[in-house]
C-alpha cells in the first residue's frame, strides 16, 4: 500500500483522532501517504435532537461508511463509544487502539462536584446513560439536553446556560482542554459507556490485506475490554435509546490476566437500576459480555427494557 485515505468527521476532536492514526500508520510504513477525508455526518448536523430519538449512534458513521463503500476512503477512525454494537454487513472493526482515560469529567465554573450543587441546578448532557445515573444519585438536580462538539458544550457552560456539564475525559485530554475539569468521576460514581476512551478503526470486511495491516495498531488489553463492553450492549439491543453502561478492566490473577466487567441498565429517570459484575478470561471477552448481559436481565434489566419498549 502506497496511499490510504481516512474518512473522518469534521469536528476538531475527530480530526485529532484521525491525524493520530495517520501519524501512526505513516510511522509504521515509511513512504506511505495517508490523507484525511473530512465529512459532515447527520449526527453532527442534528444538534437540537436527542440521538436516541433521531436515529442513534449510526448517525455519526453512516457517511464515513458510504465513503469507504464508494472507494473514496480506505478506513475510518471512530470514538468507540459512538460505534453501534453491530456494524453493517460488509464492514469490519479492524483494530482498537490503546485506551485513553475512560472516565467522565464533571465541569463547572460554579461548583466543585455534584454534591455541592443546589436543588434545581442544571446539568447538561446528551447521554441517557449519564442522565439516568445522575438522576439516581442526585434526584434534586435538573438534567437537560446538551448537544454539539466539545468546544460548543464548553461555550454553552461558559455563558451560563448550564450550571455544570459532563463530558468524556478522553476528548478533553486529546484537545488539550483538561484544565476545564473540576473532577474526574470514578466508575463507582458514573459507570462509563461501552468503548469510552478508545479509538476504533473500521474498513471494508473484504480488505483482508488492509485489516492485517491495521491490526498492528491494536492494543490487545484495550481491545479485550472494549469487546466485552460492546458484547453487553449487543446482547441487550445495542441501542443508545437504552441507558446502559459497561466498563471492563484487566487484572492479574494467579492463572494470568483476566477481565473484570461491570455493567448496568437503568430506567431513564434513574429510579430503577439493574447492576451486574463478573470476572472472565481475557481470551473470551464476548462470552463474558454475554454472561453479564444475562445476569443483568435476571436482576431486573428485562423489566426495565420492557417498560421502555426495548
Asked whether residue 48 falls in the same domain as residue 112, the answer is: no
Mean pLDDT estimate for the chain: 93
Give the pLDDT confidence of 279-293 residue by residue, as tens digits: 999 999 999 999 999
pLDDT band, very low/low/confident/very high, at 51 (cuts 50, 70, 90): low
pLDDT at residue 172, as a whole number: 97
Give the pLDDT confidence of 256-280 residue by residue, as tens digits: 889 999 999 999 999 999 999 999 9
**Is there a domain that residue 56 lies in?**
yes
Asked whether residue 166 falls in the same domain as residue 287, the answer is: no
Query: Is pLDDT larger for residue 54 or for residue 265?
Result: 265
**Is the pLDDT confidence value at 53 over 60?**
no
For residue 8, give the CATH number of its domain. Answer: 3.40.190.10
> Nine-digit cell at 139?
434526584
Name the pairing type of β-strands 199-204 and 91-96.
antiparallel
**Is the pLDDT confidence value at 45 over 80?**
no
3-state secondary structure of 100: coil
**Is there a domain that residue 223 lies in?**
no
User: How close are the terminal C-alpha atoms of the chain, in Å?
Assistant: 44
pLDDT at residue 147, as a whole number: 85
pLDDT band, very low/low/confident/very high, at 43 (cuts 50, 70, 90): low
Percent of residues, the chain, with pLDDT higher than 70? 93
**Is there a domain that residue 191 lies in?**
no
Q: Using a CB cutoff of 8 Å and minimum separation of 24, what contacts does 118-122 make?
A: 121/163, 121/164, 122/161, 122/162, 122/163, 122/164
**Is there a domain that residue 74 lies in?**
yes
Per DSSP, 172 falls in state: H
Of 44, 74, 82, 104, the catalytic one is 82
Alpha-carbon Rg for the chain, nearest whole angstrom, is 19
**Is there a domain that residue 193 lies in?**
no
Number of domains composing the chain: 3
Asked whether residue 122 falls in the same domain as residue 261, the answer is: no
pLDDT at residue 310, as a whole number: 63
Q: Which domain holds residue 269?
A: 228-307
Q: Report the C-alpha gap between 20 and 203 in whole angstroms.
A: 17
Give the pLDDT confidence of 14-23 residue by residue, as tens digits: 999 999 999 9
Asked whether residue 93 falls in the same domain as residue 7, the answer is: yes
Give the pLDDT confidence of 70-104 residue by residue, as tens digits: 999 999 999 999 899 999 999 999 999 999 999 99
pTM: 0.92
Would you tell me how many other CB atoms lie within 10 Å of the CB of residue 88? Answer: 12
Asked whether residue 43 falls in the same domain as residue 175, the answer is: no
**Is the pLDDT confidence value at 54 over 50?**
no
Asked whether residue 117 falls in the same domain as residue 163, the answer is: yes
Asked whether residue 253 falls in the same domain as residue 297, the answer is: yes
Give the pLDDT confidence of 228-262 residue by residue, as tens digits: 999 999 999 866 678 999 999 999 888 888 999 99
Q: What is the pLDDT averaged over residues 94-115?
A: 97
Asked whether residue 20 falls in the same domain as residue 81, the answer is: yes
**Is the pLDDT confidence value at 49 over 80?**
no
Cross-strand bridge partners of residue 75: 6, 203
**Is there a domain that residue 54 lies in?**
yes
**Strands (DSSP E) found in the chain:** 3-9, 33-39, 75-79, 91-96, 104-107, 122-125, 142-145, 164-168, 183-185, 199-204, 244-253, 256-266, 273-281
Q: What is the pLDDT averaged over residues 144-173?
A: 95
> Nine-digit cell at 111?
461548583
H-type helices in 29-127, by residue range? 42-45, 51-54, 62-69
Asked whether residue 140 falls in the same domain as residue 171, the answer is: yes
pLDDT at residue 60, as a whole number: 74
Residue closest to 185 by CA, chosen among 211, 202, 200, 164 = 164
Q: Which sign does the torsion angle of CA 76, 215, 233, 226 carry?
A: negative
**Is there a domain that residue 45 lies in?**
yes
pLDDT at residue 308, as a whole number: 84
**Is the pLDDT confidence value at 57 over 70?**
no
Asked whether residue 12 falls in the same domain as residue 130, the answer is: no
For residue 298, give the CATH number of its domain. Answer: 3.30.160.40
Asked whether residue 25 falls in the same domain as residue 66, the answer is: yes
Let me know: does 157 contact 177? Beta carbons within 8 Å. no
Q: Is 219 in the active site?
A: no
Amino acid at each position: 500500500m502506497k496511499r490510504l485515505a481516512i474518512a473522518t468527521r469534521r469536528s476538531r476532536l475527530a480530526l485529532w483522532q484521525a491525524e493520530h492514526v495517520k501519524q501512526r500508520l505513516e510511522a509504521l510504513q515509511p513512504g506511505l501517504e495517508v490523507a484525511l477525508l473530512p465529512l459532515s455526518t447527520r449526527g453532527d448536523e442534528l444538534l437540537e435532537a436527542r440521538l436516541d430519538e433521531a436515529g442513534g449512534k449510526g448517525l455519526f458513521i453512516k457517511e464515513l461508511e458510504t465513503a469507504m463503500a464508494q472507494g473514496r476512503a480506505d478506513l475510518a477512525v471512530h470514538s468507540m463509544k459512538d460505534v453501534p454494537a453491530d456494524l453493517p454487513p460488509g464492514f469490519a472493526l479492524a483494530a482498537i487502539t490503546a485506551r485513553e482515560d475512560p472516565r467522565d469529567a464533571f465541569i463547572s465554573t460554579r461548583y466543585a462536584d455534584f454534591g455541592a450543587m443546589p436543588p434545581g441546578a442544571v446539568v447538561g448532557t446528551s447521554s441517557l446513560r449519564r442522565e439516568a445515573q445522575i438522576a439516581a444519585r442526585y434526584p434534586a438536580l435538573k438534567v437537560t439536553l446538551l448537544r454539539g462538539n466539545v468546544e460548543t458544550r464548553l461555550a454553552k457552560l461558559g455563558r451560563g446556560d448550564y450550571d455544570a456539564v459532563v463530558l468524556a475525559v478522553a476528548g478533553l485530554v486529546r484537545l488539550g482542554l483538561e484544565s476545564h475539569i473540576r473532577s474526574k468521576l470514578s466508575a463507582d460514581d458514573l459507570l462509563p459507556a461501552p468503548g469510552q476512551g478508545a479509538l476504533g478503526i473500521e474498513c471494508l470486511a473484504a480488505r483482508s490485506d488492509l485489516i492485517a495491516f491495521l491490526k498492528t495498531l491494536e492494543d490487545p488489553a484495550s481491545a479485550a475490554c472494549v469487546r466485552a463492553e460492546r458484547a453487553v450492549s449487543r446482547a441487550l439491543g445495542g441501542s443508545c435509546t437504552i441507558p446502559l453502561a459497561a466498563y471492563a478492566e484487566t487484572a492479574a490473577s494467579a492463572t494470568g490476566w483476566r477481565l473484570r466487567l461491570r455493567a448496568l441498565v437503568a430506567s431513564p429517570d434513574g429510579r430503577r437500576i439493574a447492576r451486574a459484575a463478573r470476572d472472565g478470561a481475557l481470551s473470551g471477552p464476548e462470552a463474558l459480555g454475554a454472561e453479564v448481559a444475562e445476569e443483568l436481565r435476571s436482576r431486573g434489566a428485562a423489566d426495565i427494557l420492557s417498560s421502555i419498549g426495548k
